[in-house]
Amino acid sequence: MFSKCKDIQAELVNMRRDLHKIPELGLDLPLTQKYVIAKLNEYGIEYSLNEGDSGIIAYVNKGKPGKVIALRADMDALPITEANDVDYKSTHEGKMHACGHDAHTSMLLGAAKILNENKDSLNGEVRFIFQTAEEISKGAPVMLKNNALKGVNAVFGTHIGTILDRTIPAGTFIVCPGAVMASFDRFVITVKGKGCHGSTPEKGVDPINIAAHVVLGLEGIIAREFNANDAVVITIGHIQGGAQYNIIPDEVIIEGTTRAFTEENRQKMARRIEEVAKFSAEAFGGTAELFMDWGAAPVVNDPEMAEFAGKCAIEVLGEEHVITRVKAPNMGGEDFAFYLGEVPGAFMFLSSSNPDKKTDYPHHNPHFNIDEDVLWEGSAIFVKIASEFLK
C-alpha cells in the first residue's frame, strides 16, 4: 500500500508549495485550515474542527472495531521574512514556513488519501491530527482538550528538515528509542530592589548587583548540581533594567529558557532557579520572584513503538536509509511531548538536507528550505506504520 505514495509525489509537492505561500502563525490558521478541509473533502475523508483553534481531526474508519492509531502533523509557521527566491515564496509579509510544517501537513494529507483509498484492508481506525501552534507549544494541549487521543493506542509524528544533523543526507529516516528532544520552558525572574541616586548606593538596594549574582548563581547550578552525563541547559537571553548611568533602578527582569531530558531534571532546574534568585536577592536586601512559563516536557519515545516504526521505515526505504541510534538527542523541544505523555508512540525525523539544492540551512533560518523529493517517503512511512499497526 505504501508504494502508492510514490504516485502522488507531484501532488505532495503542489500541496506543500500551496501551503508554503500562505504561512500563518499560532492558534489561528484560517487559510491553512480552509486548504486542508478542501483536500479532505476532495478525498472524501471525514473530519471534525477543533474548538479553541484552527486544528482539524480527520478519520479513516471512524469507530471501526480494532485498534486506533493517530498520526500527527503541525501546520503553523514563523514570524520570519523569507529570503528564498522561489516561485512559491511566502505571500504573507513577515511570515514564513521556516520549520517545514507545510511539508508535514502535505505528507499527512497524502497518507490520509492513500489510507482512505485502502480503508477496507485496515482492522481499525486511523486518526489524523492537524494541529496549530507547535512553535509556541500551545497547539497540542488544545488537541487533547478536543479529545484527539481519546481511545487511541499509539501516536506517531515526523519532523522533516535538518534538525538532528545537516550532514545526514536527504531521504534518511531517523527513529530512536527514549528521549529524542528536550523539554523547553521559559522563565522570568523579577528582581526588586530600591531605586536611588548612583552616588549613594547605600540609600537603596541595587537590583543590578543582585541580577549579576543571580546570573552567575544559575551557571553554578549547571556546573555543580547535575550529573555530567545529564544534558541540561539554562540560557538567559534577555536582561532588562535601568535607564540611566547614574540612577539605581527599582527592578531588573531576567528572562531565559531551560532544557532537559527528564522530568526530574526539568523540575529541579525550576526549583533551583527560584531558590538561587530568591536567596541571592535576600542576601542583598531585595526580593526576587520566579514565573515559570511551562512549555513542553521532553519528547520520550516508547522503545517498542520506536523499534516498530524503525522496522516499517526499513521496509519502505531500505536499511541503509534508516538510522535507529544517534550520538545525542536534540536540545530543541517539540510539543509532540504532550501526546507521548498520554499514549505510547514515537517522534521521528526525515532528513531533507541536500547541499546541492541549498536545503541544508538550519530551521528557523530565512533561507530554510527542504528537498521536496523526500515528501513521498514521509507519507509512505506513515502509511506503512498505520497499515502494519492495524493488521
Give the Cα separation of 163 and 167 in Å (integer). 10
Minimum Å gap between C-beta 98 and Zn ion is 7
Element (H, E) at 58: strand 56-60
Minimum Å gap between C-beta 119 and Zn ion is 29
DSSP conformation letters of 339-390: HHTTS-EEEEEEE---GGGT--PPTT-TT----GGGHHHHHHHHHHHHHHHT
DSSP conformation letters of 68-91: EEEEEEE---BS-------TT---
Nearer to Zn ion, 28 or 289 (CB): 28
Nearer to Zn ion, 72 or 266 (CB): 72
Which DSSP state fits 119? Answer: G
Nearer to Zn ion, 59 or 128 (CB): 128
Minimum Å gap between C-beta 101 and Zn ion is 6
Nearer to Zn ion, 100 or 177 (CB): 100
Chain positions 184 to 223 lying near Zn ion, rule: CB under 5 A, are none
Which DSSP state fits 156? Answer: E
User: At 168, phi and psi to the nearest 5?
Assistant: -75, 120
Minimum Å gap between C-beta 134 and Zn ion is 6
Chain positions 141 to 180 lying near Zn ion, rule: CB under 5 A, are none
Nearer to Zn ion, 80 or 99 (CB): 99
Q: 3-class SS at 155? A: strand
Minimum Å gap between C-beta 192 and Zn ion is 35
**Radius of gyration over every alpha carbon of the chain, rounded to an integer in angstroms:** 23
Specify whether the backbone of 147 is left (phi greater than 0), alpha (psi in -120 to 50) or beta: left
Q: Are 346 and 337 contacting, i.e. CB atoms less than 8 angstroms apart?
A: no
Write out the three cell numbers for 361.
Answer: 540551512
Which residue of the chain is nearest Zn ion when measured via CB?
A: 99
Nearer to Zn ion, 72 or 384 (CB): 72
- The reply on whether position 73 binds Zn ion by CB under 5 A is no
Give the Cα separation of 74 and 364 in Å (integer). 15
Chain positions 90 to 109 lying near Zn ion, rule: CB under 5 A, are 99
Nearer to Zn ion, 68 or 160 (CB): 160
# residues contacting Zn ion (CB under 5 A):
1
Minimum Å gap between C-beta 105 and Zn ion is 12
Cell 545525542: give the residue: 328
Chain positions 320 to 349 lying near Zn ion, rule: CB under 5 A, are none
Minimum Å gap between C-beta 50 and Zn ion is 19
Residues that bind Zn ion (CB under 5 A): 99
